[in-house]
């Protein structure tokens, strides 16, 4: 959005209120038929898509695209809030109120312990001398745990990890939570050995041709690889997205340099084309 030289910057609050009003009009009688037909269930898929488009813009470092994609992601929040308001569940005011109180509650080192307590913090943490991010994260977890009402039944440390997470993220969080009580591989060497073990177990199940057993062993392998990534301080989701992008680029080169359709090529020829694409990418990077 262009701005005239010397003009005051747009007011974010006013723009946000305008967005809320636009969303309400889209859902109102006489508004957009498509928007009016949507529900919490139907909008979920778009929320996931918009989240990945935000990640894509960040990976490409295309900041103008990122600004637009963040707007699309914000639209999802406004959509849910409007539907929640219509159903009497909650409103955008509730969403913002929860967010603001949480930020103050979990940052006593920034807003002060008195403000943090007023926002609902019931944990005893030293917020006055925090100067390192590791300490900030530790306090955040303590305050977060204190927010939860005590259940009438034994709770699990893993209850904090939503089952609704994408599988890679869920596996990462589960491994991280278990590691906090010492249930973890001591080093990456043990994990690499476990990867080899899981591969052998897949081979054994393939010989038995039991689909469910094969699926289970593949899941075990993926879980182990995710934990290997955690030990190496690599985000498995971002790592896989990068590899997916690399595969796309190299496959496109294969299509470009092949004189015949790929489907007409032999396996050996396809492998040679892949090697050529890989070499071409290496040379371009030098």
- Residues of the chain with pLDDT below 50 are none
Q: What is the pTM (predicted TM-score) of this model?
A: 0.61
pLDDT for res 238: 86
pLDDT for res 161: 87
SS (H, E, C) the chain: CCCCCCCCCCCHHHHHHHHHHHHHHHHCCCCCHHHHHCCHHHHHHHHHHHHHHHHHHHHHCCHHHHHHHHHHHHHHHHHHHHHHHHHCCCCHHHHHHHHHHHHHHCCHHHHCHHHHHHCCCCCCCCCCCCCCHHHHHHHHHHHHHHHCCCCCCCCCHHHHCCCCCCHHHHHHHHHHHHHCCCCCCCCHHHHHHHHHHHHHHHHHHHHHCCHHHHHHHHHHHHHHHHHHHHHCCCCHHHHHHHHHHHHHHHHHHHHHHCCCCHHHCCHHHHHHHHHHHHHHHHHHHC
pLDDT for res 8: 77
Structural domains of the chain ordered from first start: 13-90 (1.10.287.1080), 100-150 (no CATH), 167-234 (1.10.287.1080), 239-285 (no CATH)
pLDDT for res 202: 94
Q: Tell me how far apart the alpha carbons of residues 12 and 119 are, in angstroms, rounded to a whole number.
A: 24
Q: Tell me how far apart the alpha carbons of residues 166 and 54 are, in angstroms, rounded to a whole number.
A: 16
pLDDT for res 146: 85
pLDDT for res 231: 95
pLDDT for res 3: 60
């Amino acid at each position: 959005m262009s701005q005239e030289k010397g003009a005051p910057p747009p007011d974010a609050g006013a723009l946000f209120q305008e967005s809320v009003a636009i969303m309400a009009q889209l859902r109102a009688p006489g508004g957009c038929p498509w928007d009016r037909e949507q529900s919490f269930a139907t909008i979920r898929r778009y929320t996931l898509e918009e989240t990945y488009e935000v990640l894509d813009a960040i990976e490409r470092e295309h900041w103008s695209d990122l600004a637009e994609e963040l707007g699309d992601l914000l639209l999802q929040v406004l959509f849910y809030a409007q539907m929640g308001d219509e159903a009497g569940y909650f409103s955008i005011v509730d969403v913002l109120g929860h967010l603001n109180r949480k930020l103050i509650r979990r940052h006593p080192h920034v807003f002060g312990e008195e403000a943090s307590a007023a926002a609902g913090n019931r944990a005893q943490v030293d917020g006055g001398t925090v100067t390192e991010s590791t300490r900030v994260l530790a306090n955040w977890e303590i305050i977060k745990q204190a927010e939860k009402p005590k259940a009438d039944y034994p709770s699990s440390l893993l209850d904090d990890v939503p089952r609704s997470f994408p599988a890679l993220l869920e596996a990462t969080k589960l491994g991280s939570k278990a590691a906090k009580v010492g249930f973890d591989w001591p080093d990456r060497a043990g994990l690499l050995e476990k990867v080899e073990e899981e591969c052998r177990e897949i081979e054994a199940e393939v010989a038995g041709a039991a689909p469910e057993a094969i699926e289970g062993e593949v899941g075990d392998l993926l879980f182990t690889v995710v934990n290997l990534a955690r030990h190496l301080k690599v985000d498995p989701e971002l790592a896989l997205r990068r590899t997916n992008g690399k595969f796309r680029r190299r496959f496109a080169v294969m299509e470009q340099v092949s004189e015949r359709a790929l489907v007409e090529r032999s396996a050996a020829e396809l492998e040679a084309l892949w090697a050529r694409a890989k070499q071409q990418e290496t040379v371009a990077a030098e």
